Chains A and B, each alone.
Chain A
């Protein structure tokens, strides 16, 4: 039971962070399908940062350094998407897809280069990130996640920046007409998504294992986060609930074989892995009529358009 809780917490935080990132980007009007790639790059750079820290560094320093490295790496990588889709009016889905493909390839090249061998597997110590509360292990990303959830809500709904950002995702021409810089707002949205995606990538990789093979990237977690975001209807707290739901099934996939009652069902890991995806399709099918995606998402901003 504690194991289930541990994994559910872990995946909830990851999916929520990345989905919140996606939310900021899409609320500003840019479809961010590159979340998967951003996670890979953020995770990779975060892991490398841990390895580069000097021997006697304190736990706090290691956490701070690797999380900020992941955030910055994610942000820079997202800037590629922002540049393509905001400045050059490129197709956002295509740009994002290209960045996903680039991320996996690049991560392998960098990881192998860092290792100096033919293996893309990086080892690290996840000690500084994990705290034990009695039988329950909690990682530092839980606290980061809660903070970011509250902050996201506050920024999006209670600040001027949030209002402007949302306006750019709904009706950029109207926003522009009252003096909001649409390009700037969209950049901010995409860059925030890069920061959160990068941290999310690190949060996915670090807490549960102490070595990661970058050949698998983050095995679809970014796409799952995309589903969480839609399921959460682009709203922070709903995204949190959606993340809990998805995380529960993803954890079941991992530990089903170790729970006697569930092992008796004879379901394979693949079946549990499938469930969140099937569930999200079913829910999408039922809610699609009421679905409220940002109106202007995916449309490059054209000042002269009517």
Chain B
């Protein structure tokens, strides 16, 4: 009894447990609301042809599992990007733009310069870092909110990249036949991220590459930098309290720019992982909207409470239900239902502070009850 009591009270005071519990609660409520949406559209099929398809399809075949992994890898990177910025007190809504610019870097090096994949990935990283540094500079030296700058540069980046990649149809990267950029499988096999035999395990799906391991590797690096190094501590200190950090002798301007640069680099790598694994090609003419993976990175980071390791799992989850959404029978539902569910979960995540305190009260209440029971026995 005593042991159990202390276990519960320990749980109630453990920030990590509360975060995970709050996120799981968000997921459960989000899925329930998703069922409501499904039921409104087609009540008779909501469970069997709706919810169950969404939450089962990802595991149904090796190929589906492969699709989940291939899409999760870039999502982990944009999630890390947003999460890293969060940890240092910045909101990187610009992950989508950094991702876009990174995609250009990777594809240019691959299609035009025919460089090996790791060089392409590095190019994506560098361009992403540059695009991330811009909001940082504006914030550090001109005191303009990074959210505004990042939003503006998202669109600037998108239009610019589309212009380069299309070039009025004459760009060396633009394939007139598919109206997209050239497929790396056809023109630059040397620039594809190697699969190392992984795709054989996932129904010969070519887009399953070692990208997922690269993403997990980055997650571990970010975790170590943030939690185990002085550099990470300084960055976080600036996020907690700029003035206190300044007083302690930390150069806050430099740190703001650095954390945005790192966040941008991570998002850029995400684009590299996506396009160098040939999950899809860039379509410079129809891409009037920013790539969704950039914004879903915000979801992944929020769901994981910005924890780098948690981001790996939240990204897998989001990728999982997105793949589930694509398997919905078009007879009844459209695949965007999965996006609705993800967005609902994120809306709920905005309340996670509230959920956390409720769960804490709930657990503490149980503890009090247990204590009373014990008193009665005596």
Chain A contact residues, CB within 8 Å of chain B: 33, 80, 84, 88-91, 93-95, 97-102, 104-106, 108-109, 112-113, 118, 215-217, 219-220, 223, 226-227, 230, 268, 270-271, 273-274, 277-278, 280-281, 284-285, 288-289, 291
Contacts and interface: CB of A to CB of B under 8 A. Distances in A.
11 contacts: A84-B347, A88-B354, A89-B353, A93-B93, A93-B147, A94-B298, A101-B295, A105-B336, A108-B334, A277-B153, A288-B142
B336 A97 contact: no
Q: Chain B interface mostly helix, strand, loop or mixed? A: helix
B350 A84 contact: yes
Given A90-B351, A106-B340, A271 B163 contact: yes
B19 interface: no
A270 B163 contact: yes
Contacts of B168: 268
Contact of B152 (A80, A271, A281, A289): A281
Given A223-B155, A271-B163, A109 B334 contact: yes
A219 B289 CA distance: 6
A271 B91 CA distance: 27
A285 B334 contact: no
A101 B289 contact: no
B163 A105 contact: no
Residue among B152, B160, B168 having the largest count of chain A Cβ atoms under 10 Å: B152
A216 B288 CA distance: 7
A271 B354 CA distance: 45
Contacts of A277: 152-153, 155-156
A84 B351 contact: yes
A97 B295 contact: yes
Contact of A99 (B155, B347, B353): B347
Given A84-B347, A109-B37, A97 B93 contact: yes
A271 B155 CA distance: 11
A105 B149 CA distance: 25
Size range of the interface on B?
A: 35 or more
B138 interface: yes
Contacts, number: 135
Given A97-B93, A105-B343, A285-B138, A216 B289 contact: yes
B147 A98 contact: no
A282 B93 CA distance: 20
B159 A80 contact: no
Contacts of A112: 334, 336
Contacts of B155: 220, 223, 273-274, 277
B295 A288 contact: no
A9 to B, nearest CB: 23
A217 B149 CA distance: 21
A215 B152 CA distance: 21
A268 B163 contact: yes
B330 A104 contact: no
Interface in B135-184: 138, 142-144, 147-149, 151-156, 159-160, 162-163, 166, 168
A174 B289 CA distance: 43
A97 B95 CA distance: 13
B238 interface: no
A223 B350 CA distance: 21
A285 B147 CA distance: 14
A101 B142 CA distance: 29
B344 interface: yes
Given A281-B149, A291-B144, 12 more contacts: A88-B354, A89-B353, A90-B351, A98-B343, A105-B337, A217-B289, A219-B289, A220-B155, A223-B154, A273-B155, A278-B156, A281-B152
Given A97-B295, A104-B339, A118-B330, A227 B148 contact: yes
